[in-house]
Amino acid sequence: MSSKSQLTYTARASKHPNPLVKKLFEIAEAKKTNVTVSADVSTTKELLELADRLGPHIAVIKTHIDILSDFSEETTNGLKALAAKHNFLIFEDRKFIDIGNTVQKQYHGGVLRISEWAHIINCSVLPGEGIVEALAQTAAAADFPYGSERGLLILAEMTSKGSLATGQYTTSSVDYARKYKNFVMGFVSTRSLGEIESAVSSASDEEDFVVFTTGVNLSSKGDKLGQQYQTPESAIGRGADFIIAGRGIYAAADPVEAAKRYQKEAWEAYLARVQG
């Protein structure tokens, strides 16, 4: 596990050079939550209701904005207002995966205008280093009316059965994160990746990537389509800084009670980790 995993979010916030990561750690500490809810619902009304009800218990809301049947500016204006009201960040799980020229257009512009409202995005590095460079360029060049901080998580591993995001793919994810560390906040991965030897540069003392771990569920081991789950405690124990839970929360009979349960379990696991 990365040596930074033993530090509190406050300690990491105080030293972190990236303002968005700093803000994320500060939110976690202020609200005592390291939960990201994956709000994979299909209408704007459901999404905004969920964001408002779960807002006090989450640090980040993760969207798949293209699965909404009625996406409009009302969706993103509503999300931005709720992010300000409840102090959480917005992560659009678009998983960019294309040549640089295409992802720049997908990130900035188009019908979704993701760069204007999503603090955090993610990408696969299957296309190679150029995808990270292209997204970083777009974020640096744009003048965002809504908050200025933007960050990228590299999808370094996947939770689905038989995932091919392993070995050289994962090592290269770490290489590119180190090379573009002003824009890359960290990884979506199932564990801390800090120890992976990089061809680009070796890990420095200041290196502090944030690990988001998805595939978290308290009552299920997986689904019929290959999703594989672990518990919040197990994810945090393997080095997750933030857990991502979808159906475990939004599909529960009482999503607010479920969010509180994930919040409690993940926060206690974090406290146990930093108290050594």
Q: Give the one residue of 244, 259, 266, 269 binding ligand S5P; rule: CB under 6 A.
A: 244
Q: Does 85 participate in catalysis according to the annotation?
A: no
Q: Which of 51, 18, 16, 58 is nearest to 34 (CA)?
A: 58
Binding mask 163-192 for ligand S5P (x = CB under 6 A): -------------------------x----
Q: How far is the CB of 122 from ligand S5P (least distance, A)?
A: 7
Does the annotation flag 150 for ligand binding?
Answer: no
Distant-in-sequence, close-in-space partners of 223: CB < 8 Å, separation ≥ 6 = 247
Interaction of residue 93 with ligand S5P, rule CB under 6 A: yes
Q: Give the one residue of 5, 18, 138, 159 binding ligand S5P; rule: CB under 6 A.
A: 159
Q: Give the one residue of 55, 78, 194, 215 binding ligand S5P; rule: CB under 6 A.
A: 215
Q: Give the one residue of 248, 255, 262, 267 binding ligand S5P; rule: CB under 6 A.
A: 248
Q: Does 52 participate in catalysis according to the annotation?
A: no
**Dihedral sign from CA coordinates of 82, 84, 88, 90:** positive
Phi/psi region, residue 29 (left: phi>0; alpha: psi -120 to 50; beta: rest), is: alpha
Interaction of residue 227 with ligand S5P, rule CB under 6 A: yes
Interaction of residue 38 with ligand S5P, rule CB under 6 A: yes
Interaction of residue 36 with ligand S5P, rule CB under 6 A: no
How far apart, in Å, are the Cα atoms of 129 and each of 53, 93, 105, 141, 211? 39, 19, 17, 19, 20
Does the annotation flag 159 for ligand binding?
Answer: yes
Q: How far is the CB of 257 from ligand S5P (least distance, A)?
A: 17
How far apart, in Å, are the Cα atoms of 66 and each of 12, 144, 196? 33, 21, 34
The residue behind tokens 């809301």 is 61
Q: Does 70 participate in catalysis according to the annotation?
A: no
Alpha helices in the chain (DSSP H): 9-15, 19-31, 44-54, 73-86, 100-107, 114-117, 129-141, 167-179, 232-237, 247-250, 255-274
Which residues make up the interface to ligand S5P (CB under 6 A)? 38, 40, 64, 93, 158-159, 188, 214-215, 217, 227, 244-248
Active-site positions read: 93, 95, 98
Binding residues for substrate: 40, 62, 159, 227, 246-247
